[in-house]
Structure 1
């Protein structure tokens, strides 16, 4: 049996195994097409077809990337197909896991539950999909060809949450890795994911899967039931399933709790960093001194004050030095009695509570799906159909807090010897010290705190579809979706902290609040025990309160379309699809009142995010067969599509796409497409409520501006504000972030080009079937929407021309300097200049009968040539490919052997080595090789599984990451978001060796 594809006027005539192979390579697939027959049954089907001489003509089907139903699986754009059987063999316990795997994403980083301690769009616990590394808002997710509406918490909800998708009901997933706005509308910039459910179910199936990690934590459990019934004119089916993942904490993985690799050069043995430093005075390790972002120092068990000289701790310098951090030591009687100075790296930064932080946060998902249809026997054999999807996510994240107790100058809570000290820090802008300057700040271990969310998502769809005449069909539907989220955080309240500092004596040697109303509890007096983290529970209970916000996101969509043949031409039939769509979206996020009133201590304040938008669209698509059945032109087909879009917020635009599929000989196909896409900014990008926070004093552009040239714009601009040349900012900078609707945010456009080749050479039967596909892609996004930081706005303003600066033009309209030279900056979403992604996707497949069974192997490799961008036209275009978390290559290998009812699979995932040295050498002429560990080696993960399929049941057992591979290590001070010493990157496995089993039974 060979892999030649014979076509006649658009019909594909092959036996089942050949159809599967053609589908796999022409689309191309990551896994083989779903096969319900055994190897012997496939051979029987082949023999019977060959003997009878009959041919099988496929039903007209629609493949993601086109609205036109056709008789073949061929597509002018690359489409990857994943069936559920292979995802089970691979050990995935959820649809989220399948979609975020490297085989789909090509190694680009995804937002998952390892991001619980970071600010992400959609809120903590959300899981999104980004194709080509262009972000989740540029990837469109469909379910049965219809949009999956955004879901999540907080104000930045704008993408589909993969958690809402069912699992047991899924038949296959089609992934279009090409721009398709002319086909599907806004957001389809990088590609489209279409999750397709089983259409008719006539039995009941129950399924259970359990994934257990070898080192504990992060276990997954899924249980589901699917059932259905079919009558003469109706069908009804549905599923209900529960998915739960337990928490994986930092302390459960040794690599996450190792001492952060500090700012040290390469050791003599070629390694970086150092072993855990043990403080000889306490015998405790000095770990966790650098936070996960690699930018700041966590300090606990110390106090901050100035102007005092005294003895230092062991290794912290000679007696008489002046320190800015001190820790209790009752043996010290000189300088600052009872305290010794500590150096930068000998400060205490470790707390056992850090081991209880979430490495991968827990979640519990409950999902129900119901679908059905009724034949009307009217309106062109029409079917009245409906779908309903309901989902609840309960997620939680555990973090750790460093708490500051600010004792104001002269506070009675201070020991007598410290009350007369001068201020060490000016009064914080948040009002937490009642406007008084700080004399002593104590950095204490406050322990753990929790965030948690409850997200309810519902989508209902109803429609009617039927025929117009003998060859045309129509489909019209209405969908309404709603995401309703409640999100909670254990927060410290600023006003309660301020009241706790305003104390009077209780007459018994203690203190009480001057205003005791509401149960106010005085802050603890400064003692060695308090500095060590022994904080009275009553004080904790007073300043901490559960805060609650609510996010509601709704989306309504009306669709109507028709498709069918227009007329015949010598090579076949010209077909067309056309239709219209109207969509309305609305977001309403109301943070807790304490967040709105800027009353959250150490957390950003947020205003409500409220906005709505609607869009009306019309599209048309043509498919034109130009040549067929000729020498060196077995098939030549062109596809053209266009869409007109009219947003209430951004006006109108149009997109288009042209594609071509050329088969000169039966074993070779060439495809290419070029088109434009359009993305209106998401609602949160337009209407995000102002979120306030603080930047460090070092962010003031005028600090020590006298060291610059007197002719430079920054020198002139700072001097125009009357600042001295040696100016140093002493107050935190207020930073406000808001949506871009008020600052002229525009829609973004993009151009995408793909070109590919599919080779299916003919070999003798004994050799087997070998196929290969290669696809080149080039996507350029112009005017892209991005979030500009407060620091960037400050730099752009003070480096602008003095005339613009004094007139408050450009970015300077967002900067204000107030009393006492305090500084505030407003930033938000803006249109950046350019983003570019370019690369190759390769797929190879080999199938051969060996002994009594069939062997199949599939290899996929993604090669990013460019992942580049710039913020402003004057900026250089810098390529990030090959940097940490942006590998140039990612690949996977899938080997399977099926014999009778048994199938064994081996999988290998690969992420190529990365380094930032070349990036900094190229663009900044800086060599960090002796300072930081900024590179990772090739990363491989192996999996192995065995499956048995009975008549009405199946069982699968296996292991993922069978080598127990740990993620690679980088330097803590290298400036990356990290988990322990590992980069925060979804392509690395944080769980370790995992065992899984899956059982399924049908009745």
Structure 2
């Protein structure tokens, strides 16, 4: 893509806008917004004069591109990347990520501040982030996205910017929506219903109400999508001799659906004459075909091995929102208000459809479920047990339910005191999240049930009932020899539920005053100042706390001494609270006006002091300059220092545990290990330094045209990040066991022991202030409204707009001494924070009386699997793609009521996502980048909106 040509095009004229974006416009181009109250500033002003770049997205425009929800529409903006949603649910339940968590600039969900009418929205997730599905969408009239640091104006967490949902609090009448949708593959059906009403009960009392329901089924059957049932992965060591390449029909060599006697390492079952055999569905033992190696030791293709099946492509989502507000005018200068919001978001998705990957377990020859011939062969060779592997697709599927209930209350007063505006509010937020992982293996039951023996009466029983009476007398022995061998009773005994609940509260008291101080020759000096006190609490409970491992007493197992209650989703307890005190001041000063070469020169400045009860005080600031040499051309510059404070979870989380593959370079063993994570109470705030330089052009000789171009540069120091277990392992090895990070790798023996027996008992990851991040790029936007009566007798209009982002640098460093990692243009599954360098939307909207036709093209640039030259991929490129969406709307009346009938087709040409298998377990991932590309395919939505 030629960026010199594109940049020039923004300033040449309307002829360059044949493909332009009609859905979104920065404040510079939002000519239909008369007054923008939030423009990256607490001072009320016209949005076109703001030094800070602001993207304004109207609800009407968002609905045309993504009728499902406002957050879905925002995620189509090029300024958002790698947001978390039900369309990208992941494969675990250790974090509630299946809502709609917006990621501004792809810098991290936690680094963007979500506001509702300028008020901080309480966190809804354990990590302090906000599920924007809770916003009462029918009453949102627009969303202001401040795409620059804004901590001085709005408070901490606004490092990447602010997403401010603006409600129409003065609405009168009734409006609503009813719609339904379905994909071209006859799945992922959706329904949305909502109604809102506002009325002036008296000339002083105004009431407002809305109720909304949205439901979408998700996609549980990957096989309907291209390459969805082919078990694609990429595997290999990433060297020139063994590059990472794509493989089809892959499977584990260490597991089958009916159990395999493992031979995936030289030492496993060594000497056993049945090593490398597996059990058929009828229990018969036959040689195992290990297939063709993939380059990764545990995976092969065209083998008898098993792959995970049934993992959800996208999750099911159900949301409900209730909103009510009362405004009462005490006098012309004083107004009281109170509003109450309740929202519930439910999400469900399969993590592993085929039961669970059961890993390596020990079976003793006295197990009565073993065929006699197997037992006799082993005992004749002097073996009393073997290590087996299995994927239990005859066990319950594993799925996750996430239920998020949020209550918010806001009350306050606002008014005028002479020439000044003032406002005082009290807000309370209460969110409760319950994450339930069904179909989870109960470890102690599993190991007890595996160890089956003959009882005194000849019945098959669990050995523990004979050796330790009274300890586990309800144990039901399990038969795992053959696919389908597990009975319902056996399944119910070994499978269960892990669950954790998060309760968070936030109380905020704030007050501010703004107005005009005095008049200079160039104009009025304005100001805003205020203070805020905020208290937040976090309480997390769990039924599977890894800090309290289960006892192994009475069990014969091959596991280490540490055993969690369940096979996965062992999330620890967390308790903590802090309070924050803040004061801020902001001013806007007109310096020059109506001078030669200076049509206007304005300066905006803000400062905020924040005192955290956990980490002390910190100062943030911003300065912005707006310079117009002539009326139609404006240059803008901002420089800011911003912060993100550590969340309560980052500070106070207890141990959480999971199991996953770990490549131990110390023992040269690659197998499953227990991974632990916890909080760190010594964390301090991250610090962001941002500057933007931009230009806005609104020529009078091209009525209806505007364009803007902004360069941004963001540096974040003291980034809170978890030191990866891989990094700790490497650093410990480089130091020959002397580094403090060696404490993160817990081994049964001393560091000097490099035998396979010294493989780690557990590996730990803990957050530290030790990283840095650097981002820079260009945002560009243009808009042109053409009145077609210039060409023929009509009242029709054509709106053409363009919005795009060019982000060539996304560098991060794990530590001060680590080499920087370039994530720009990289696959986010391989490189943390990876995102396309190029993204832009172009839209044309034609309106002729009651008919409106909207056409949008969304371009997503190509990706590399990695930018690391030391990591070799056979094919390192994921190609670019363009999606086209269209909406047709027709306005009509029924009984004097206004109705809009519409049909939207997203991904009009049913473009399949670029083929990109993951470096993952066989069968668990769809071969596409779900966080970036559309995997749903062509999707139809039709419905009616009404207003009267």
Question: What TM-score, normalized by structure 1, do the two folds share?
Answer: 0.80
How far apart are 1:968 and its partner, in Å?
Answer: 0.7
Equivalences for residues 726-805 of structure 1 within 5 A: 733-741=673-681, 744-763=682-701, 769-800=704-735, 805=737
| Per-residue deviation, residues 351-377 of structure 1 (Å, max 9, x unmatched) | 7x824x321110111101111211112
| Per-residue deviation, residues 379-409 of structure 1 (Å, max 9, x unmatched) | x711001121110112211232334383434
Equivalences for residues 843-922 of structure 1 within 5 A: 843-850=781-788, 851=792, 852=794, 853-885=796-828, 886-916=835-865, 919-921=867-869
- Any conservation in 2 of the 1:832–1:872 contact (CA below 8 Å)? yes
Distance 2:31 2:374 in 1: 74
Equivalences for residues 56-455 of structure 1 within 5 A: 62-70=37-45, 73-105=48-80, 108-119=81-92, 122-152=95-125, 156-230=126-200, 231-249=202-220, 250-260=222-232, 263=235, 287-289=249-251, 299-306=256-263, 325-328=276-279, 338-343=286-291, 344-349=300-305, 354-355=309-310, 357-377=311-331, 381-398=333-350, 399-400=352-353, 401-404=355-358, 406-413=361-368, 414-419=370-375, 438-445=386-393, 446=395, 448-455=397-404
How far apart are 1:829 and its partner, in Å?
Answer: 0.8
What secondary structure, in the 3-state scheme, does the structure 1 residue paired with 2:206 have? strand
How far apart are 1:732 and its partner, in Å?
Answer: 5.7
* Change in CA separation of 1:960 and 1:443 when aligned onto 2, cut-off 3 Å: closer
- Any conservation in 2 of the 1:942–1:960 contact (CA below 8 Å)? yes
The equivalent residue for 1:713 is none
Distance 1:826 1:308 in 2: 25
The equivalent residue for 2:753 is none
* Change in CA separation of 1:976 and 1:376 when aligned onto 2, cut-off 3 Å: farther
What secondary structure, in the 3-state scheme, does the structure 2 residue paired with 1:811 have? helix
- Any conservation in 1 of the 2:404–2:433 contact (CA below 8 Å)? yes
| Per-residue deviation, residues 581-631 of structure 1 (Å, max 9, x unmatched) | 111111111011466644434215332011111110000001000111223
- Any conservation in 2 of the 1:213–1:991 contact (CA below 8 Å)? yes
How far apart are 1:692 and its partner, in Å?
Answer: 2.5
* Change in CA separation of 1:977 and 1:101 when aligned onto 2, cut-off 3 Å: farther
* Change in CA separation of 1:648 and 1:346 when aligned onto 2, cut-off 3 Å: same
- Any conservation in 2 of the 1:186–1:677 contact (CA below 8 Å)? yes
What secondary structure, in the 3-state scheme, does the structure 2 residue paired with 1:812 have? helix
What secondary structure, in the 3-state scheme, does the structure 2 residue paired with 1:621 have? strand
Distance 2:880 2:437 in 1: 39
Distance 2:937 2:158 in 1: 35
What secondary structure, in the 3-state scheme, does the structure 2 residue paired with 1:102 have? coil
* Change in CA separation of 1:348 and 1:468 when aligned onto 2, cut-off 3 Å: farther
Q: CA RMSD in A?
A: 3.3
Distance 2:285 2:225 in 1: 41
What secondary structure, in the 3-state scheme, does the structure 2 residue paired with 1:354 have? coil
| Per-residue deviation, residues 510-539 of structure 1 (Å, max 9, x unmatched) | 51224567773433345xxx3323311110
Corresponding position: 1:652 with 2:617: yes
| Per-residue deviation, residues 931-975 of structure 1 (Å, max 9, x unmatched) | 3x3312221110111112346221221211110011111244489
How far apart are 1:854 and its partner, in Å?
Answer: 0.9
How far apart are 1:815 and its partner, in Å?
Answer: 4.1
- Any conservation in 2 of the 1:959–1:995 contact (CA below 8 Å)? yes
The equivalent residue for 1:980 is 926
Distance 2:853 2:179 in 1: 18
Distance 1:835 1:120 in 2: 28
The equivalent residue for 2:881 is 939
* Change in CA separation of 1:501 and 1:301 when aligned onto 2, cut-off 3 Å: closer
How far apart are 1:243 and its partner, in Å?
Answer: 0.6
- Any conservation in 1 of the 2:25–2:57 contact (CA below 8 Å)? no
* Change in CA separation of 1:122 and 1:543 when aligned onto 2, cut-off 3 Å: closer
What secondary structure, in the 3-state scheme, does the structure 1 residue paired with 2:846 have? strand
Of stretches 135-144 and 677-686 in structure 1, the one that deviates more from structure 2 is 677-686
The equivalent residue for 1:27 is 27
* Change in CA separation of 1:654 and 1:533 when aligned onto 2, cut-off 3 Å: same
How far apart are 1:121 and its partner, in Å?
Answer: 7.9
Corresponding position: 1:992 with 2:937: yes
| Greater strand fraction, Structure 1 or Structure 2 | 2
* Change in CA separation of 1:558 and 1:182 when aligned onto 2, cut-off 3 Å: same
How far apart are 1:263 and its partner, in Å?
Answer: 4.9
* Change in CA separation of 1:437 and 1:868 when aligned onto 2, cut-off 3 Å: farther
Corresponding position: 1:810 with 2:740: yes
Distance 2:588 2:385 in 1: 74
What secondary structure, in the 3-state scheme, does the structure 2 residue paired with 1:797 have? helix
What secondary structure, in the 3-state scheme, does the structure 2 residue paired with 1:140 have? strand
The equivalent residue for 2:752 is none
How far apart are 1:983 and its partner, in Å?
Answer: 2.0
What secondary structure, in the 3-state scheme, does the structure 2 residue paired with 1:745 have? coil
* Change in CA separation of 1:442 and 1:755 when aligned onto 2, cut-off 3 Å: closer
What secondary structure, in the 3-state scheme, does the structure 2 residue paired with 1:872 have? coil
Of stretches 497-506 and 888-897 in structure 1, the one that deviates more from structure 2 is 497-506
| Per-residue deviation, residues 791-823 of structure 1 (Å, max 9, x unmatched) | 3222222322x6xx55xx632344443356463
Corresponding position: 1:492 with 2:441: yes
* Change in CA separation of 1:594 and 1:262 when aligned onto 2, cut-off 3 Å: closer
- Any conservation in 1 of the 2:63–2:70 contact (CA below 8 Å)? no
- Any conservation in 2 of the 1:757–1:773 contact (CA below 8 Å)? yes
How far apart are 1:552 and its partner, in Å?
Answer: 0.3
* Change in CA separation of 1:244 and 1:24 when aligned onto 2, cut-off 3 Å: closer
* Change in CA separation of 1:200 and 1:950 when aligned onto 2, cut-off 3 Å: farther
- Any conservation in 2 of the 1:786–1:829 contact (CA below 8 Å)? yes
What secondary structure, in the 3-state scheme, does the structure 2 residue paired with 1:248 have? coil
How far apart are 1:563 and its partner, in Å?
Answer: 0.4
How far apart are 1:439 and its partner, in Å?
Answer: 3.9
* Change in CA separation of 1:755 and 1:513 when aligned onto 2, cut-off 3 Å: same
What secondary structure, in the 3-state scheme, does the structure 1 residue paired with 2:223 have? helix
* Change in CA separation of 1:297 and 1:575 when aligned onto 2, cut-off 3 Å: farther
Matched residues, number: 857
What secondary structure, in the 3-state scheme, does the structure 2 residue paired with 1:832 have? strand
Distance 2:726 2:378 in 1: 31
How far apart are 1:174 and its partner, in Å?
Answer: 0.5
| Per-residue deviation, residues 759-791 of structure 1 (Å, max 9, x unmatched) | 123436xxx543211000000000100122223
- Any conservation in 2 of the 1:860–1:893 contact (CA below 8 Å)? yes
Distance 2:286 2:25 in 1: 74
How far apart are 1:658 and its partner, in Å?
Answer: 0.4
**Structure 1: tracts of 5 or more residues without a match:** 1-20, 35-57, 267-271, 277-286, 291-295, 310-319, 424-435, 705-727
* Change in CA separation of 1:25 and 1:571 when aligned onto 2, cut-off 3 Å: farther
* Change in CA separation of 1:781 and 1:264 when aligned onto 2, cut-off 3 Å: closer
Question: What TM-score, normalized by structure 2, do the two folds share?
Answer: 0.84
How far apart are 1:737 and its partner, in Å?
Answer: 1.0
* Change in CA separation of 1:909 and 1:680 when aligned onto 2, cut-off 3 Å: same
- Any conservation in 2 of the 1:186–1:679 contact (CA below 8 Å)? yes
